Structure 1
Amino acid sequence: MEDSWATTPAVRKSMQGNRSRDTKPELAVRRAIHARGLRYFVNSRPIPQLRRTADLVFPRIKIAVFVDGCFWHGCPVHRTSPKANADFWLGKVEGNIRRDLDTTRQLRSAGWTVLRYWSHEDPEAVADDVQHRVERLRGKDKAAAGVADHHFDHHRLSSGAVRHRPTP
């Protein structure tokens, strides 16, 4: 165990069990969106040359949806400080946040609408928001949908219903 990030074999086994896709919150959001009749790609690269995958992708209308885990992506509501190996884990989470912001920037630069939600958010509220965005971009008020998305920071969502705060 001496060259591992884990402090004990039990911690290592527990952390290796964490999924990078098909998490319970992600599955709940996918089920809710699917129940609304929307179809999408799962765990797909919006831009093939960019080594970043979105949880749900609507390629024809260029919407990428991410369901970010509270611990791994630094949720401001549920973020906790690890007790063991704190420097490693804080660096890891900070790196994830930087990568998330870079991913959002690169996708937006390529004309994509990026929707980010925290895993603690209500799947039905998330699905309502995604459905609304998809419908807007499929033809109803397409220009307004694109403009609005570029003025909001979807990475910093509130803890209640799906809300988007204007970026500074």
Structure 2
Amino acid sequence: LNSNPSGGRATNAVNDLTNVAKYSLKGTKLGNATVVVGGQSSKINDTKTVAGGDFIRTAIIMIVGIGLALIYVTRSLLQPVYVLGTLVTAYLAALSITHVLTRLILGRPMLTWNTPFFSFIMLIALGVDYSIFLIMRYRNTDNEHYLPTERIVMASSAIGTVVISAAIIL
């Protein structure tokens, strides 16, 4: 290849090379042969493929598991949908902002393969913890003397310093 072996062009060429080799062998004695490509570009391409599959499986397992735990903790079917919806939205927003800043500041067109994976794990895991704190604090406020909007403001202000401190530390 006439490009950086770690670059996107080279890793994308691996699949093209494999397909061309398989097509070229059709109708010959080697038509049933296994075609593999080696080298740095191939390793990077394989890593991206495996990581992409792992990310999807991990995301599904986390969302389902956390959803079930939230249903148990909150004794509600609707609150977990709201919590997980806001967390996934926050993840997508954070990943988009990271991608834009990486492009503008670092001049890189893409994030590394592991950035979306580990960002998802961190944001969802920590976000659900703080969401549970918020829900429990909301439930512990006096619902006879305060409106729901007042209760959520009180709960948010009570756990806000903990959340902000954790965000600064991270």
Higher relative contact order (CA 8 A, sep 6+): 1
Q: TM-score range by the shorter chain?
A: 0.3 to 0.5
Computing the radius of gyration from Cα coordinates, the structure with the larger value is: 2
Q: Flag the structure with higher helix content.
A: 2
Give the TM-score of the pair, scaled to structure 2: 0.35
From the two aligned structures, give the one with the greater strand fraction.
Answer: 1
